[in-house]
């Protein structure tokens, strides 16, 4: 899943991005309000972590732009503003949660996971393609009865494939959802990781699930 962090304090932003990346999320960071608003409106994010006190454009203005544009992804406000009035304004203004600084990363992560679960209620069941299963809650992956160990990026790539069965996924789409906004499209890392995944998912099985669509990208399908 892809998360946008809008935070002008670079140390805080780096801390959040590093932690979320280690949890297999693709993370983009914006350091001011104008950049944050542009990225939130132009890209397809699963969740936004939003500071309120930002240069160029206030966080509440960004939140209003997001909701006025009809975007429904969860927004978690993360700010030093801790008055009851600020919290009420944030929640009534369209945010889904409100966490004040200083914060513990474990709590932030738990809140993010809770918001993502609620926003994708139809998708939290075990994902299944042929005899391949993925449990989004436990992150357990099996092909038949055999458990498959995956790295964080391999897991993120597989989950993206399984949530988009029978859909052609271009290298650009994959890179944006599994890596981040600043990913270099000229590298072959997407192809490398698809090959890694194929070896773990398809090797030794008659039915191959990951297919190359020549000139377009990749697709997961049962036949």
pLDDT, one tens digit per residue, over 136-190 is 878 899 999 999 999 988 999 999 999 999 999 998 888 888 886 566 667 888 9
Higher per-residue confidence, 114 vs 137: 114
Q: Is the pLDDT of residue 56 over 90?
A: yes
Which CATH superfamily is 2-121 part of? Response regulator (3.40.50.2300)
Question: DSSP letters along 139-183, please?
Answer: TEEEETTEE----HHHHHHHHHHHTTTT--EEHHHHHHHHS-TT-
The per-residue pLDDT for range 59-102, each reduced to its tens digit, is: 999 999 999 999 989 999 999 999 999 999 999 999 999 999 99
Domain regions of the chain by residue span: 2-121, 127-220
Predicted confidence (pLDDT) per residue in 21-50, tens digit: 988 898 999 999 999 999 999 988 999 999
**pTM surpassing 0.95?**
no
Token readout for 51 is 């500071």
Q: Which class does domain 127-220 fall in?
A: mainly alpha
223 versus 151: the higher-pLDDT residue is 151
User: d(Cα 186, Cα 207) in Å, to the nearest integer?
Assistant: 31
Q: Considering only 83-92, 104-113, 117-126, 135-144, which range has the smallest mean pLDDT?
A: 117-126
Segment 3-28 shows an average pLDDT of 93
Q: How far apart are CA 54 and CA 140, in angstroms?
A: 39
Give the separation between CA 21 and CA 28, rounded to whole angstroms. 10
Q: Are 160 and 210 in contact (CB under 8 A)?
A: no
């Amino acid at each position: 899943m892809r998360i946008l962090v809008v935070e002008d304090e670079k140390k805080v932003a780096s801390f959040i991005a590093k932690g979320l990346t280690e949890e297999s999320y693709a993370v983009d960071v914006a350091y001011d309000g104008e950049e944050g608003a542009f990225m939130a409106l132009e890209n397809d994010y699963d969740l936004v972590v939003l500071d309120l006190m930002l240069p160029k454009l206030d966080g509440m203005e960004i939140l209003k732009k997001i909701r006025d544009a009809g975007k429904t992804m969860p927004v978690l406000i993360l700010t030093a503003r801790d008055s009851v009035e600020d919290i009420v304004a944030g929640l009534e203004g369209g945010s889904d949660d409100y966490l004040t600084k200083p914060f513990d990363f474990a709590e932030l992560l738990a809140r993010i996971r809770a918001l993502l679960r609620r926003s994708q209620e139809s998708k939290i069941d075990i994902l299944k393609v042929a005899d391949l299963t993925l449990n989004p809650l436990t992150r357990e992956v099996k092909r038949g009865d055999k458990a498959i160990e995956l790295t964080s990026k391999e897991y993120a790539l597989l989950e993206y494939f399984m949530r988009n069965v029978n859909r052609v996924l271009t290298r650009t789409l994959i890179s944006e959802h599994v890596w981040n906004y600043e990913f270099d499209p000229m590298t072959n890392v997407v192809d490398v990781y698809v090959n890694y995944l194929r070896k773990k998912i398809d090797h030794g099985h008659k039915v191959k699930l990951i297919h190359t669509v020549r000139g377009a990208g990749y697709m997961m399908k049962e036949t």
